[in-house]
Amino acid sequence: MTETEIAALQALQDILGDIDHAAIAVSGGVDSMTLATVAGRLADNNIEVFHALSPAVPADASARVRQHAEHESWRLHEINAGEFDDPQYRDNPVNRCFYCKSNLYRTIAAHTQETVLSGTNLDDLGDYRPGLEAAHRHGVRHPFVEAEVDKETVRAIARHLQLDDLAELPAAPCLSSRVETGLRIEGDQLTLIDAVEKFVARRLGAGTVRCRIRRKEVIIELGAEELEALSEKDRSELRTVISAMFEADGIAKPLDFRPYRMGSAFLRPAANG
Q: Do 134 and 40 touch, CB atoms closer than 8 A?
A: no
For position 28, what pLDDT does the model report? 94
What span, in angstroms and rounded, lies between the C-alpha atoms of 259 and 224? 6
Q: Mean pLDDT, the chain, as a whole number?
A: 92
**What is the model's pTM?**
0.91
For position 272, what pLDDT does the model report? 43
Q: Do 28 and 4 touch, CB atoms closer than 8 A?
A: no
Domains and CATH numbers, the chain: 3-167 (3.40.50.620), 175-259 (3.30.70)
What span, in angstroms and rounded, lies between the C-alpha atoms of 161 and 37? 8
* pLDDT profile of the chain (273 residues), mean per 10: 92 92 94 96 87 95 96 96 96 96 97 95 88 95 97 96 90 91 95 95 91 95 92 94 94 94 70 41
Phi/psi of residue 15, nearest 5 degrees: -65, -45
What span, in angstroms and rounded, lies between the C-alpha atoms of 167 and 153? 10
What span, in angstroms and rounded, lies between the C-alpha atoms of 265 and 218? 11
